[in-house]
Amino acid sequence: MASRSFPILLNLPIFKRSFKNASLIRKHATASNTVKLSFTQFDPPKLNESHESSPLIILHGLFGSKNNWRSLAKVFAQRLNTRVFTLDLRNHGESPHSEVHNYEVMAKDVVTFMNDHQLKRTVVMGHSMGGKVAMTIALMQVPQIDQLVVVDSAPTNTSISKEFATYVDVMKKVEQTEVMKQSQADEIMKGYISDINIRQFLLTNLKKDPEIEVYKFRIPLDVLGNSLKTLNGFPFDSDRHTFHKSTLFVAGVKSNYIPPKIHPTIKTFFPNSVIVELDTGHWVHSEKPHDFATIVTDFLKKDL
């Protein structure tokens, strides 16, 4: 349920604004509160808000951050002539931490962001965990949602706990060792995670604590580890909740997150949806960024 970044696609003259709402040590929100999400805004070369397409919000996956989508955000801002907002979901990136981590509260955080920024007719796109957050927002019948894009995620139970529980345990081992260099952390992780891409992805969360000069993970490992079972599920019943606006699902053929047997369930929740498959694993957008960008752009442009 994670997102990875990839090399810059295009060298685009796009103005980027980054907004940080938390330092390495963050305040914890109470169970009933939404949190103010850290975000980066990407503007098209010539922004005219009165004539722009629907703004696009992009949500990352588990253990990811807004930075995973930096390259594609620039592409979408130019091709769609719209503002693109990449968000850090709660307990990720530079956003505040909270003991509560489920799809409903994450969705409410994003809706609060939309309201605070007066975003109307908005497109929400999410990968993996972020995809389930995006679907939750849509099924909450939030009126600002104009279109939905879901990347390798489905409105159903997902068996991810074992794999991601291992990642949490390994990151805890790194912290317990009190490493002074990132290379030391990678050496520890190598004994448990053979895929260098996954290790590098997880290590994007490793930051030096200036007070004690050792590296710590900026994400709350206990909170996320305890939330894995909840993140496996999906908070809605297709018999009572549907989203009838235009929806795109992009699936990785080599991934098992959107198998063919799930397609009828998707159609029940999202009757006006299309499912497009790419020959990739779970990280569709990083494995084939050009194809992915074209598919999403063409889909969103058809309703302009």
Q: Token pair 């963050």 is at which residue?
A: 26
Which residue among the candidates 101, 127, 282, 285 is catalytic per the annotation? 282
Apex 1 CA angle, 82 and 197, nearest 5:
95
Q: Report yes or no: 149 and 133 within 8 Å, Cβ to Cβ.
A: no
Is the predicted pLDDT of residue 91 greater than 60, yes or no?
A: yes
222 classed as catalytic: yes
Whole-angstrom distance, CA of residue 211 vs CA of residue 162: 34
Q: Report yes or no: 59 and 148 within 8 Å, Cβ to Cβ.
A: no
Whole-angstrom distance, CA of residue 108 vs CA of residue 5: 26
Which residue among the candidates 116, 222, 237, 303 is catalytic per the annotation? 222
Is the predicted pLDDT of residue 233 greater than 50, yes or no?
A: yes
Which residue among the candidates 98, 128, 227, 286 is catalytic per the annotation? 128
282 classed as catalytic: yes
Going by C-alpha positions, the residue among 39, 128, 135 that lies closest to residue 92 is 39
- Residue 184 backbone class (left: φ over 0; alpha: ψ -120 to 50; beta: rest): alpha
Rg over alpha carbons for the chain, rounded to the nearest Å, is 18
128 classed as catalytic: yes
Q: What is the pLDDT of residues 172-197, one digit of tens each?
A: 999 999 999 999 999 999 999 999 99
Q: Name beta bridge partners: 41.
A: 17, 85
Structure tokens at 109: 């955080």
Helix or strand run (H / E) with residue 119: none
Residue 236 pLDDT class (50, 70, 90 cuts): very high
CB within 8 A of 242, min separation 6: which ones? Answer: 139, 268, 269, 270, 271
CB-based burial, 68-86: b 16+ in 10 Å, e otherwise: bbbbbbbbbbbbbbbbbbb
Residue 24 pLDDT class (50, 70, 90 cuts): very low
Q: What is the pLDDT of residues 238-274, one digit of tens each?
A: 778 999 999 999 999 999 899 999 999 999 999 999 9
The mean of the pLDDT values for the chain is 89
Sketch out the chain's domains with CATH numbers: 16-158+233-301 (3.40.50.1820), 161-225 (no CATH)
Q: Name beta bridge partners: 86.
A: 40, 58
Going by C-alpha positions, the residue among 268, 272, 273 that lies closest to residue 238 is 268
pTM here? 0.89
